[in-house]
Amino acid sequence: MARPTPELINALRRTAQNLRNGAAYQWGHMGGCNCGNLAQELTKLNKDQIHQYAMQRHGDWNEQAEDYCSTSQMPIDLLINEMLNAGLTLEDLKHLERLDDRQVLARFPIEKRFLKHNIREDVIAYMTAWAELLEEQLLAKITLPTLQEIEFV
């Protein structure tokens, strides 16, 4: 599961909002699919640039994640590296493209867990639930000093 970072949480929320507001969505387009839309937020590249980078190697996001090399200078690997630096894992990319991470899906009522990976509304719901999950994980790590621990001057 992703490392809960404010950058990633905000990117998931912005991506969901962009999709809600009519951002280009096409599951079969590497820059306009589930991962592609999130990549736009995290890298500030547009969908066509992302698609062009991805087409320099074979495969969809699942295969791109499998073939990722951290020392490669291929544009798609540099793009994926930016996404990983924001808190994602390679497995997250695979799950996002298929909307199938069990921890995210567990946040939905049982009858609503069968999301379709290529339906805009399902992608929005998944990203929103994922952002909420990551935010809860991030907040759980924060501990504030108690009043007794604070030294007053």
pLDDT per 10-residue tile (average), the chain, 153 residues: 91 97 90 94 93 87 88 90 94 94 94 92 97 93 71 61
Please state the φ and ψ torsions of residue 33, each to the nearest 5 degrees: -90, -165
Angstrom distance (rounded) from CA 129 to CA 132: 5
What was the pLDDT predicted at 34?
95
Reading the block at residue 113, the tokens are 């867990």
What was the pLDDT predicted at 17?
98
pTM for the complete prediction? Answer: 0.88
What was the pLDDT predicted at 130?
97
CA dihedral of residues 129, 132, 136, 142 (deg, nearest 10): 150
> Which is nearest to 35 in space by CA: 149, 114, 132, 126?
126
Ramachandran class of 59: left when φ > 0, alpha when ψ lies in -120 to 50, beta otherwise: left
